Amino acid sequence: NAGVTQTPKFRILKIGQSMTLQCAQDMNHNYMYWYRQDPGMGLKLIYYSVGAGITDKGEVPNGYNVSRSTTEDFPLRLELAAPSQTSVYFCASSYSSENLSYEQYFGPGTRLTVT
Amino acid sequence: GQNIDQPTEMTATEGAIVQINCTYQTSGFNGLFWYQQHAGEAPTFLSYNVLDGLEEKGRFSSFLSRSKGYSYLLLKELQMKDSASYLCAVSTDSWGKLQFGAGTQVVVTP
């Protein structure tokens, strides 16, 4: 199993450009998440999905969009990039259950700089 | 509001014990996680507590008191490879959404 994979590993964007961060998992997890991590800070939830076709906003969704057309893939779209979106982006997935929470498996991250 | 607090940095000697405290105030609670994150890498799962008490896993133990909104991670027999950031995270609902603390940087010295 590859686990959670993310592409690209690094990217530099100019202000106003757009891009899609790719995330895929091969563990057949229903739940998937996007986080951002600023230097010296914890992770903040951007968007999450509890299954194909179902997405919802997290704590910091402004400036981002997501889609979930398959169980495996959960891309994150940045429209009109701004310097405030300079960060490390982590995708994660987990097993799902009605009542319990399960550990999240994280991808290696995408380091994005907007200048 | 929602708050998860943990110390910024702790230093300890190889072979020693370090205890990282985490206090939380969140709108919901469905368990508390500890993750380890080495510099430039992704977080990796260490432990999960949903009931009060101590969970032991080798050199790592984690404790939870839901009534006090308090947890700690205990690292025993410290090794140089334990130098990393340790993230306390609360699951706030059944969808597994996590609220993270800012992390505690543990520095292990020879």
Chain A residues with CB-CB distance to B43 below 8 A? 43, 90, 106
Q: In what order do the strands lie in the sheet with B70-75?
A: B3-5, B18-25, B70-75, B60-65, B53-57
Verify whether the Cβ–Cβ distance B44 to A106 is below 8 Å: yes
Chosen from A41, A101, A111 to mutate, greatest number of chain B CBs within 10 A: A101
CB A38 within 8 A of CB A112: no
The model's pLDDT over B26-82, given as tens digits with 9 standing for 90+, comes to: 988 999 999 999 999 999 999 999 999 999 999 999 999 999 999 999 999 999 999
Closest-CA residue of chain A to B45 = A103
The whole-number pLDDT of residue B79 equals 98
The whole-number pLDDT of residue B16 equals 98
Chain B residues with CB-CB distance to A59 below 8 A? 99
Chosen from A27, A43, A102, A110 to mutate, greatest number of chain B CBs within 10 A: A43
Integer Cα distance of B56 and A18 in angstroms: 46
Among the partner-chain residues A40, A50, A106, the one whose CB lies closest to the CB of B95 is A50
Name the residue with tokens 């057949």. Answer: A28
Strand spans (E) along chain B: 3-5, 9-13, 18-25, 32-37, 44-49, 53-57, 60-65, 70-75, 84-91, 98-100, 104-109
The model's pLDDT over A31-61, given as tens digits with 9 standing for 90+, comes to: 999 999 998 888 999 999 999 999 999 999 9
Work out the average pLDDT over B91-108.
93
Verify whether the Cβ–Cβ distance B95 to A31 is below 8 Å: yes
Label residue B1 by pLDDT band (50, 70, 90).
low
